[in-house]
Every structure is written in structure tokens, then in C-alpha cells.
């Protein structure tokens, strides 16, 4: 893997952080590249050097987080639900500004949809309707129920200021998911 120039990496992180911060203050449609560049303390040209426009920036930022979660799922696939969920909630806590902004934002409803689709794909392999508690039930309904419940719990947890630590959330949610799937 080629080594990335630290200045480039630092500029990109500043630009992404600027966008998230601005989205907590105003609607995405009202944010300009000038706003982003000023907040990130970079030239407008630097923003355009890395991103086509603010939509490209937002899309790539969302994809970055979804891809990180997807990679986490791959190496956590053999873990118990509680342990895997704790890893996710630690990540959500460490990136709470991003997730709370994206899940609450009217300007980025596509994130909630992408996140939900990601969860649906991940839960599909976990649901068995051939035997046990889910025998004879509709797999699609179970998967969608579980994914939507997960997103709803995460949204509430973030909106309420993360009142419980990730390990407590992991235990509660992990036990519930285990009961469903």
C-alpha cells in the first residue's frame, strides 16, 4: 500500500470534520464549498482537489464509515452477539458526531438508508427459518425488523447523549438480537 502524504491526509480529515460540524449547524443544502473550506482552514481548491463537490464529499464520507463497519463485520463474524455489538457501539461512540448528525440530518437521509441496507445484508446470513424459534416465519420480515430495531436503538442512544456505556448497550442489544436471530 503506497504511503499517503500526511498533509493530504490531514487536509482530507479537516475537510470531512468541517462538513460534519457544519451539518450540525445548518441544512446540508445551505452548506457551500466556501463554508467547508473556511471551517477546514484550507483553500477551496484543496477541497476540489480531493472531492468533486459537497455531494461527493458526503458520499465518500458515508461510504468510509459503512466500509469500516463492513470490515468489522468480517473479522467479528465468529464472535458472540454481545462482543460484536460492543465493538460496533465503541465505534459509534468514537464517531458519535458523524453518526448522530447523519442519522438526525434531513440533508442526508441517504445515510440512514445505506446504513439500514448494510445491516439488512449483514443480518440476512444470521437468520435461520428452517428450525427453532423462527421456523416458518418470513425471513425478510425478521431481517428488516432486526435491522430497523438496531438503527432505532442507535438513534435513541445517540440522541439521548449516550447515557449507557457501549458495553451496557452491547449486552442489552446483543441479548435481544440473539433472541430474534
Residue 148: domain span: 76-180
Tell me: pLDDT of 1 over 60. no
Task: Give the pLDDT of residue 106.
Answer: 66
Q: pLDDT digits over 81-121, tens only?
A: 888 899 999 999 999 999 999 998 666 778 999 999 999 99
Residue 110 belongs to a domain: yes
Instruction: Report the distance separating Cα 164 and Cα 135, nearest Å.
Output: 34
- For 118, the grid coordinates are 448494510
The reply to whether 126 falls in a domain is yes
**Sign for the pseudo-dihedral over CA of 10, 12, 18, 21:** negative
CB 123 within 8 A of CB 178: no
Question: Total domain count for the chain?
Answer: 1
Residue 46 banded pLDDT, cuts 50, 70, 90: very high
Looking at the domain assignment, is residue 64 inside a domain?
Answer: no
Residues 133-157: tens digit of each pLDDT: 888 899 999 999 999 999 999 999 9
Residue 29 lies in a domain: no
pTM: 0.87
Amino acid at each position: 500500500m503506497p504511503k499517503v502524504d500526511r498533509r493530504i491526509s490531514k487536509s482530507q480529515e479537516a475537510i470531512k470534520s468541517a462538513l460534519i460540524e457544519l451539518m450540525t449547524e445548518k441544512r446540508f443544502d445551505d452548506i457551500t464549498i466556501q463554508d467547508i473550506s473556511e471551517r477546514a482552514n484550507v483553500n477551496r481548491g484543496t477541497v476540489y482537489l480531493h472531492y468533486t463537490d459537497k455531494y461527493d464529499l458526503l458520499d465518500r464520507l458515508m461510504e468510509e464509515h459503512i466500509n469500516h463497519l463492513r470490515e468489522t463485520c468480517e473479522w467479528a463474524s465468529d464472535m458472540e452477539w454481545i462482543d460484536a455489538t460492543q465493538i460496533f457501539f465503541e465505534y459509534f461512540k468514537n464517531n458519535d458526531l458523524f453518526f448522530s448528525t447523519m442519522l438526525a440530518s434531513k440533508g442526508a437521509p441517504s445515510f440512514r438508508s445505506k446504513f439500514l441496507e448494510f445491516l439488512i445484508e449483514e443480518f440476512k446470513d444470521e437468520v435461520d427459518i428452517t428450525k427453532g424459534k423462527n421456523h416458518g416465519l418470513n425471513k425478510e420480515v425478521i431481517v428488516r425488523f432486526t435491522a430497523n430495531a438496531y438503527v432505532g436503538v442507535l438513534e435513541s442512544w445517540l440522541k439521548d447523549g449516550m447515557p449507557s456505556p457501549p458495553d451496557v448497550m452491547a449486552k442489552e442489544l446483543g441479548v435481544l438480537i440473539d433472541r430474534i436471530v
